[in-house]
Amino acid sequence: MDTQTHLEDLSNEIFFEIFDYLHALDIFTAFASLNKRISSVLQLISLRV
């Protein structure tokens, strides 16, 4: 049985770990319009500019 995992299936904590390696502008440019789930995760992060 093949099971596919999608980006939006990742936990918030995994997203936060990924975002730690990126600049704020890059995060929003790359992820902001993908889908509602990821947009809601973006609203949870505190930006370090």
**pLDDT (tens digit per residue) in 1-49:** 688 989 889 999 999 999 999 998 999 999 988 999 999 999 888 765 5
What tokens does 9 get? Answer: 């299936």
Q: Which domain holds residue 35?
A: 7-44
On whether residue 29 sits in a domain, the answer given is: yes
8-15 — which CB contacts under 8 Å span 24+ positions? 8/34, 8/35, 8/37, 8/38, 12/41, 12/44, 15/41
- Per-residue model confidence (pLDDT) at position 49: 53
CB atoms within 10 A of CB 30: 13
Task: Select from 13, 14, 6 the least CA-distant residue to 35.
Answer: 6
- Per-residue model confidence (pLDDT) at position 45: 81
- Per-residue model confidence (pLDDT) at position 35: 92
Number of domains in the chain: 1
- Per-residue model confidence (pLDDT) at position 44: 87
On whether residue 28 sits in a domain, the answer given is: yes
On whether residue 1 sits in a domain, the answer given is: no
On whether residue 37 sits in a domain, the answer given is: yes
